[in-house]
């Protein structure tokens, strides 16, 4: 079942169950998708990869918003609950991120393949990994592990 079909079914279920929280989240995802595909200069297929990209960017935006609401303290507590729900909802559609051990193995392989030995080459290694494993790796974890690996002496 495609992501679009799944979202439409979940929206129907949420509306029948009068679950406004889920229905609003689905509507927002669908709106973000429409904005992306109608943007000037958009070229590309309207497939699941576009939906995954939209959901991932929306989840990233939500995480940033959550940090901002957490910074204002008690006034942002009500919004944080909704944001947490939406982050979790988006997570249903995204592939499971690789564990630190899996990322470390990929980083070591990329470092050896690229011949990187200097911490100044970290950006090149991170870029290579993120391009090769789009959507499957957490960028902050990759950056942290690449920095650790390039600081450690290669044995």
pLDDT in tens, 58-86: 999 999 999 999 888 888 788 899 999 99
Tell whether the model's pLDDT for residue 155 goes beyond 50.
no
Q: Which of 89, 70, 80, 68 is nearest to 25 (CA)?
A: 89
Q: What is the pLDDT of residues 94-119, one digit of tens each?
A: 877 777 888 888 888 888 888 888 88
- If one counts the domains in the chain, the total is 2
Q: What is the pLDDT of residues 128-142, one digit of tens each?
A: 888 888 767 777 888
* 104: enclosing H helix or E strand: helix 100-114
pLDDT of residue 84: 93
Residues 79 and 108 in one domain: no
Angstrom distance (rounded) from CA 28 to CA 60: 14
The band of 41, judged by pLDDT with boundaries at 50, 70 and 90, is confident
Residues 106 and 138 in one domain: yes
**Domain limits at 87?**
3-91
Residue partners of 137: CB distance under 8 A and separation at least 6: 97, 98, 103, 106, 129, 130
Residues 109 and 46 in one domain: no
Please give the average per-residue pLDDT across 40-56, as a whole number: 87
Residues 32 and 81 in one domain: yes
């Amino acid at each position: 079942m495609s992501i679009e079909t799944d979202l439409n079914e979940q929206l129907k279920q949420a509306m029948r169950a009068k679950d406004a929280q889920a229905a609003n989240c689905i509507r927002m995802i669908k709106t973000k998708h429409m904005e992306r595909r109608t943007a000037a200069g958009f070229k590309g297929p309207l497939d699941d990869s576009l939906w995954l990209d939209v959901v991932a960017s929306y989840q990233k935006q939500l995480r940033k918003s959550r940090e901002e609401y957490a910074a204002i303290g008690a006034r942002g507590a009500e919004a944080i609950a909704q944001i947490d729900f939406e982050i979790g909802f988006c997570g249903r559609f995204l592939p499971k991120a690789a564990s630190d051990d899996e990322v470390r193995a990929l980083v070591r392989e990329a470092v050896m393949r690229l011949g990187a030995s200097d911490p100044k080459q970290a950006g090149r290694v991170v870029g290579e990994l993120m391009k090769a494993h789009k959507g499957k790796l957490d960028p902050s974890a990759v950056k942290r592990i690449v920095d650790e690996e390039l600081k450690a002496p290669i044995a």
